Amino acid sequence: MNAEDVIECRVLTGFHCLPFAQYTTPHTNRRCEHEAGMTMIGASIGGRPVGLAVFSCQNDSEKASLESIFVHPDARRRGIGRGLLKAVHSTLVDMGAAEVGGTWFHDAPSAGLVERLLADSGWSDPVSTAMVHHCGRRILAHVDQNNRAARLPAGFAFDSWANLSSDERARVDELRETQEIPFGLHPNGESTLPVSPKTTTVLRHEGDIVGWMIHHELTPEMLRYSSLWLRPDLVGGGLGISVAIESARRHLALADQIPRLFFMVMEDNHAMHRFIARRLQPGLDRSSILMDSSKALIPASSDEK
Ligand SMILES: CC(C)(COP(=O)(O)OP(=O)(O)OC[C@H]1O[C@@H](n2cnc3c(N)ncnc32)[C@H](O)[C@@H]1OP(=O)(O)O)[C@@H](O)C(=O)NCCC(=O)NCCS
């Protein structure tokens, strides 16, 4: 075997990450720079970067997440993907993780390749976990035209995230504990993407913040509608939908600058799936199923593949 055939997979740090950055998205590169627990593993042949796997492993979690895996098209079917996964597995075992999972869209061009690679490396059969809807101005106009202006009960008012004072932002932080808001529904659940200040809408009651629809800026042209939250005692009266509609109207006003959006609905949120089918379907451009697979991490040499 000559040097040109030797595949080397290693954890990357500092400037060693740079030649491999081309093998994942700008968003994942940003996360690697700014977010704790992100690790890049680079694959090289004869010193030439040919592939990259990125995983996230938080200190307080036994389950790690494979964020991205990519091998240069000219270097495929030579065991590099398998080698990257082996390196991911062994690095995670050393870090104390018990399981690794990963997600991808069923209709992504690479879905079949990733599925075959994961199956080859002993990951579980993929299951669908959520639906991700991609849309644009059409859905914003549809929502605007098909809903009357909200008539909020006395004492309630909408406001824009941009108008929150720093004291109020601190109170939003406190709400996570006092209201036991799941991390994913709280603005702090996202550490790298900025909140869209003008379209993100909060609901106030007598001045207090009691709900929100948070939008994050994925790119300058695309928002992720990340979380709709309402204080639990207010759920069920239609206020949540009103906040979502109001945020869509505020987004419509800026649709020339920010024309795209997407949002995710978990598989078991049947009420939301029914709502989307009845009320939003005509405005959707593309709906992708988010697939999920995982693998228990077994220390030492019993983890053959
Ligand atoms: C998926 C991917 C990483 C696989 O990398 P690879 O280096 O070609 O994979 P390997 O050579 O290690 O293949 C290992 C096994 O996976 C399976 N496999 C991989 N590619 C396959 C293919 N095209 N057809 C069938 N099986 C395949 C096979 O079981 C293979 O073993 P074998 O070659 O002994 O039969 C690569 O195809 C890729 O980068 N695709 C694009 C992924 C992408 O877009 N990622 C970005 C979003 S996360």
pTM: predicted TM-score of the whole model, two decimal places: 0.83
Give the total number of structural domains in the chain.
Answer: 2
pLDDT single digits (tens) 137-150:
999 999 999 988 88
Domain housing 236: 133-290
Site to substitute for ligand 1 among 8, 77, 105, 291, most atoms within 8 A of C-beta: 77
Half-sphere exposure of 180 (CA within 13 A, CB side): 1
Taking the centre of ligand 1 as the mean of its atom positions, its distance from the CA of residue 293, in whole angstroms, is: 16
| Interatomic CA distance for residues 8 and 17, integer angstroms | 15
Cα of 4 vs its chain's centroid, Å: 37
| Same-domain check for residues 109 and 157 | no
120 lines ligand 1 (CB under 6 A): yes
> Residue 27's CB: how many other CB atoms inside 10 A?
14
27 lines ligand 1 (CB under 6 A): no
| Same-domain check for residues 183 and 90 | no
| Same-domain check for residues 259 and 298 | no
Structure tokens of 188? 């702090």
Taking the centre of ligand 1 as the mean of its atom positions, its distance from the CA of residue 10, in whole angstroms, is: 19
| Same-domain check for residues 146 and 66 | no
Taking the centre of ligand 1 as the mean of its atom positions, its distance from the CA of residue 34, in whole angstroms, is: 29
Taking the centre of ligand 1 as the mean of its atom positions, its distance from the CA of residue 114, in whole angstroms, is: 6
β-partners of residue 157 are: 204
CATH number of the domain that residue 239 is part of: 3.40.630.30
| Same-domain check for residues 103 and 183 | no
User: What pLDDT sits at residue 184?
Assistant: 75
Given pLDDT bands bounded at 50, 70 and 90, which one contains residue 305?
very low
| Same-domain check for residues 119 and 145 | no
User: What pLDDT sits at residue 5?
Assistant: 75
Taking the centre of ligand 1 as the mean of its atom positions, its distance from the CA of residue 264, in whole angstroms, is: 27
Nearest-atom index, ligand 1, CA of 108: 44
| Same-domain check for residues 93 and 183 | no
The residue whose CA has the least distance to atom 29 of ligand 1 is: 120
pLDDT single digits (tens) 10-62:
999 999 999 999 999 998 999 999 889 999 999 999 999 999 999 999 876 78
| Interatomic CA distance for residues 206 and 225, integer angstroms | 26
